[in-house]
Amino acid sequence: MASQIHPLYTPEERIRRDRSKWTLVQGILAPVQFVIFLVSLYFVIRFLITGQGEFAANVSIVIKTLILYTIMITGSIWEKEVFGKYLFAPAFYWEDVFSMLVLALHTAYLFALAFGILEARALMALALSAYLAYVINAAQFLWKLRQARLQESSQRTEQVMA
């Protein structure tokens, strides 16, 4: 018996996921984005502690945000290929909802930077709030990845025992 009442992927969705070139793209972009996040987080914290490196911190946040937009666009294409919807497919509904918050916070940062709306420390605080949302969202997706692997393992075990 499967450990989940509602499987994350139907057999057809799993086939589409495994055949999609966007699965590989997501698999590459996600760790790249995480490394960029860590580097940027270092620059932001360094600026907040020492007051030095404001330019480097801002550049790193802009790069992180551009990669975020890229992964969100390619992720939407992946979701369309696998589930037939660009966003809010039932399997990833809450992850997509929270992704909208992540995008909104990163976009608010870009807007505030471009128009000089916030002073440097407030701008970095906004970036940190965007980064906190990003970490929570990344954890959501990692949890789903783990669920999918456990589900697939359970299904393989059931097939062997049948």
Confidence of residue 85 (pLDDT cuts 50, 70, 90): very high
DSSP 3: S
- Quote the domain boundaries for residue 138: 11-161
Q: What is the pTM of this model?
A: 0.86
Confidence of residue 22 (pLDDT cuts 50, 70, 90): very high
On whether residue 60 sits in a domain, the answer given is yes
Residue 3 · residue 150 · CB < 8 Å: yes
On whether residue 3 sits in a domain, the answer given is no
Confidence of residue 151 (pLDDT cuts 50, 70, 90): confident
Task: Supply the pLDDT for residue 6.
Answer: 72
On whether residue 149 sits in a domain, the answer given is yes
Percent pLDDT > 70 in the chain is 91
Angle made by CA atoms 120, 97, 29, in degrees to the nearest 5: 70
CA–CA dist 37, 99 (Å, integer) = 16
Domain count along the chain:
1
Burial 64-88, CB ≥16 within 10 A → b, else e: bbebbeebbebbbbbbebbbeeebe
